[in-house]
């Protein structure tokens, strides 16, 4: 089978994968430098906000530059977020038609065209994603907590108490929207999708994809956690990355992966606070 090519002969799958890997190299460099810098300067909020912005906007910029929509990469929440944008776009289009505007659309119209075209609310699909994330948590969190307990004992830490912070809702929101969302959009929505075009996955175990694309994307995801901290335990996210990939591929949206990722981070945060 020959690779898909553009009119000028460009190998699109290879070029897209290369573009994603270059963007990932930039992110990994930022993490390797930014984490120690945040610790040394106390500017963690600013540095990590910039890194999150990189993970959000660089993929969207590169996707749009190739004339594709974010939805084609699973970057949507079944219309829960873009549904209002689609409605606004519809109003704007009708308004511009009435005025019979001609020429190149302005920046606002182009923004709506990218993020509003075809968006419609699919509440049932969104709720299914939430349900799958909750089911994953019910299946895997008990095993994680048991393993975490053993790990803490090996480190010489003892169980203190199960303490649930009063700001638990803030912990969940932060881990879901400030950490999980940027990471899932970048690694699963962008990087893995581009690699999948070049190296399609043909095998799975219990529904979990096992292919070169998901392995490389998961390894880069784990490396991003390790760089700048240099703690081998931070390579652990390599394994749950396969579950995030499963959820994304199952529904065609990163929504389920974002929810499960955010829950996983929150549970990890809580479990770490139970030991002294």
* Residue 3 pLDDT exceeds 60: no
* Residue 35 pLDDT exceeds 60: yes
Report the range of poorest mean pLDDT among 122-136, 221-235, 252-266: 122-136
- Domain extents for the chain? 12-80+121-272, 81-120
Is the pLDDT higher at 86 or at 265? 265
Closest residue by Cα to residue 27 from 62, 51, 48: 51
For 270, phi and psi rounded to 5 degrees?
A: -65, -45
Residue 65: count of CB within 10 angstroms of its CB: 9
Q: How far apart are CA 127 and CA 119, in angstroms?
A: 17
Could you tell me the pTM of the whole model? 0.85
CB 86 within 8 A of CB 119: yes
Q: How confident is the model at residue 90 (pLDDT cuts 50, 70, 90)?
A: low
Classified as helix, coil or strand, 208 is strand
Instruction: List, in order, residues 6 or more apart from 179 with CB less than 8 Å away.
Output: 52, 261, 262, 265
Q: What is the pLDDT of residues 126-141, one digit of tens each?
A: 999 999 999 999 999 9
Give mean pLDDT, residues 88-113.
Answer: 56
Residue 233: count of CB within 10 angstroms of its CB: 10
What local confidence, expressed as pLDDT, does residue 1 receive?
40
Classified as helix, coil or strand, 89 is helix
Q: What is the pLDDT of residues 159-172, one digit of tens each?
A: 888 888 889 999 99
How high is the mean pLDDT of the chain?
A: 87
């Amino acid at each position: 089978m020959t690779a898909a090519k553009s009119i000028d002969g460009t190998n699109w799958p290879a070029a897209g994968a290369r573009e994603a890997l270059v963007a990932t190299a930039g992110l990994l460099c930022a993490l390797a430098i930014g984490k120690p810098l945040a610790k040394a300067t106390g500017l963690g909020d600013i540095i990590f906000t910039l890194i999150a912005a990189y993970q959000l906007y660089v993929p969207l910029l590169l996707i749009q530059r190739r004339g594709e929509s974010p939805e084609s990469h699973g970057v949507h929440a079944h219309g829960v977020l873009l549904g209002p944008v689609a409605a606004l776009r519809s109003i704007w289009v009708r308004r511009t038609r009435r005025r019979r505007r001609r020429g190149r659309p302005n920046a606002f119209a182009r923004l709506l065209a990218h993020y509003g075209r075809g968006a419609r609310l699919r509440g049932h699909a969104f709720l299914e994603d939430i349900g799958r994330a909750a089911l994953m948590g019910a299946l895997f969190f008990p095993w994680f907590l048991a393993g975490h307990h053993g790990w803490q004992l090996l480190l010489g830490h003892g169980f203190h108490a199960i303490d649930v912070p009063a700001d638990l809702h803030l912990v969940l929101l932060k881990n879901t929207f400030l950490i999980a969302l940027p990471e899932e959009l970048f690694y699963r929505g962008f990087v893995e999708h581009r690699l999948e075009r070049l190296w399609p996955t043909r095998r799975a175990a219990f529904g979990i994809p096992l292919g070169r694309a998901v392995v490389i994307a998961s390894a880069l995801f784990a490396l991003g956690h390790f760089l700048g901290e240099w703690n081998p335990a931070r390579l652990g996210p390599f394994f749950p990355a396969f579950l995030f990939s499963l959820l994304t591929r199952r529904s065609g949206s990163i929504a389920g992966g974002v929810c499960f990722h955010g829950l996983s981070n929150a549970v990890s945060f809580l479990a770490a606070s139970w030991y002294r």
